Chain A
Amino acid sequence: MEDIIALLKENVIQGRKTKDDEGVDGDSIGMPGVIELTQLALESNIPPEVIIEEGLTTGMQVVGDKFAAKEYFVPDMLASAEAVSGAQDILKPYLEDSDAMSKGKFAIATVKGDIHDIGKNIVATLLKGAGYEVDDLGINIPPEKIVEYVREYKPDFLGLSALLTTTMLAMGETIEALKENGIRDSVKVLIGGAAVSEEFAQQIGADAYCVDGFHAIKVLEEFQKVKA
């Protein structure tokens, strides 16, 4: 059992989703990847919670460390996160209480007027890989739609993305709209994107500014600690 979990962790680090992926050195083709190993672990009666915590999550932590050390870059990190995401989809039906395994519900959107998609998708994929239940609302999402969503689906966290100086103002409008509707305190608001900064986050009353997806994970962990 330990072998399967160790292999699983190693393949998460290598970003090998399936047996067809090349991994770091390119000599692993044909060896089982994260998807095959997850299935094998289930067949070997390893509890899904153990597969997630000891295989997937610890693997992603190493990926995060490598990213921080500039040994890994965004594509490497995405390869790992996509592999983990695939494994989670397999495991979900086997979890007795899938909500208990989720670290919280994270809604993410690119704000009104902004059509940039990629950065938001990277963060969404990474957060999903880190164990959050992620709802991607899309691009060019007006404040009223976000208010409607928060009211109905009650996410724990809301991530707002904007790339331009012309569109970042819509982040402030979104936070104001949450306030006006009396639901600002129901959700932690995190912002990110090329044009925004820590100062801007404070100015518009966001709860945090995140430089990138891994920073967002750290910020979320801090929130969890405070909550606990």
Chain B
Amino acid sequence: MVNMEKELMYNDEVKGVPEFSLAGSIQEGIKIEIDKAEVYRHLGYGREQDPRAGILSIVDDQVCKAYEFINPAAYYTINPITSVGSPEVSVGELHFTSHNLAQVFSGCSQAAIFVVTIGKALEMEVDQLTKEGSILSALVLDTVGSVAVEKVADELESMFRDFAAAKGGKISWRYSPGYCDWDIAQQKELFRGLDGNPIGVNLTDACSMKPRKSISGIIGGGEFCSVFSACRSCNRKNCPNRREEFLAND
């Protein structure tokens, strides 16, 4: 990742509590590598079960091709967490409603509101493959795009983690509208906190993002942060997003 650290500044007035600068920052030139094992997992294969030869070569081809089409970018703003009730949570001027978000923010004093994307070139290629009737290649390239955008979000998260750690602080789970009890309609409120983000991610009326391969969300930071995971108390045992550590007991 390029020049991320210098964009971040602490406010040293509050000792012990990491305070990020309040300015929004654009990150471009983020370099990512696609983990093929992660692509297999997103395609449905198990941890110990790689795809057969015919599918492996399609994944190889599409991963190779994907690098041409991936243009990662990230934008974030740093905001004070002004109140955490449950389910009402206020971050700067923004108001969210989610019991889980309230739990995630327990012990946090600040929140990074972010959006990351890999741009629209990859999905245009997916649409082209679909038009040509290559549904399998389209699915694989689309999946590579999902893995890539997750990776961009991971990079941003890791930057926040390092930054907080340097001040003896921690960060919370990454959390997005549409997760668990956080209504996806609150994407609109979240985007209000992104200053009309300059990296060109837009919301549809139904709160999907365009480009599709984008992730928006929020990460709390503070002196200590809870390691709350909503999966612990959630009854959706078959949820595709269930965290791995909670699968074993089902």
Contact = CB atoms under 8 A, between A and B. Distances in A.
B228 to A, nearest CB: 23
Given A22-B53, A23-B54, A164-B206, A115 B212 contact: yes
Interface string B46-75: 000001111111100000000000000000
A213 B184 CA distance: 26
Given A74-B43, A118-B138, A121-B130, A79 B55 contact: yes
A117 B136 CA distance: 13
Contacts of A30: none
Contacts of B233: none
B53 A82 contact: no
A135 B225 CA distance: 51
A25 B53 contact: yes
A158 B213 CA distance: 28
B209 to A, nearest CB: 10
Given A165-B184, A194-B240, A25 B52 contact: yes
Interface string A67-92: 00000011110110110010000000
A114 interface: yes
Contact of B53 (A24, A73, A121): A24
Contact of B139 (A14, A115, A118, A124): A118
Given A117-B127, A121-B130, A26 B135 contact: no
A75 B206 CA distance: 29
Nearest to A25: B53
Given A82-B136, A164-B184, A16 B43 contact: no
Contacts of A193: none
B204 to A, nearest CB: 7
Interface residues of B, number: 34
Contact of A164 (B44, B52, B127, B208): B208
A167 interface: yes
Contacts of A24: 52-54
A76 B55 contact: yes
Contact of A167 (B127, B139, B206): B206
Interface string A177-215: 000000000000000001000000000000000000000
B244 interface: no
B184 A26 contact: no
Contact of B208 (A114, A121, A124, A194): A114
A46 interface: no
Contacts of A81: 135
The contact size tier of chain A is: 20 to 34
Contacts of B204: 113, 115
Nearest to A136: B130
B206 A125 contact: no
A21 interface: yes
Contact of B138 (A22, A23, A121, A167): A121
A122 interface: yes
Contact of B136 (A78, A113, A114, A116): A78
Given A73-B43, A75-B58, A76-B55, A82 B133 contact: yes
A45 interface: no
A164 B203 CA distance: 14
Contacts of B206: 113-115, 164, 166-167
Nearest to B51: A75
Contacts of A15: 54
B9 interface: no
Contacts of A74: 43-44, 139
B208 A79 contact: no
A153 B51 CA distance: 40
Contacts of B212: 115-116
A208 B127 CA distance: 29
Interface string B207-238: 11010100000000000000000000000000
25 contacts: A22-B57, A24-B53, A75-B55, A75-B58, A75-B136, A78-B135, A78-B139, A79-B136, A81-B135, A82-B133, A113-B204, A115-B208, A115-B210, A117-B126, A117-B127, A117-B130, A118-B138, A118-B139, A118-B142, A121-B135, A164-B178, A164-B184, A164-B206, A165-B183, A166-B206
Interface of B: 43-45, 51-58, 126-127, 130, 133-136, 138-140, 142, 178, 183-185, 204-208, 210, 212, 240
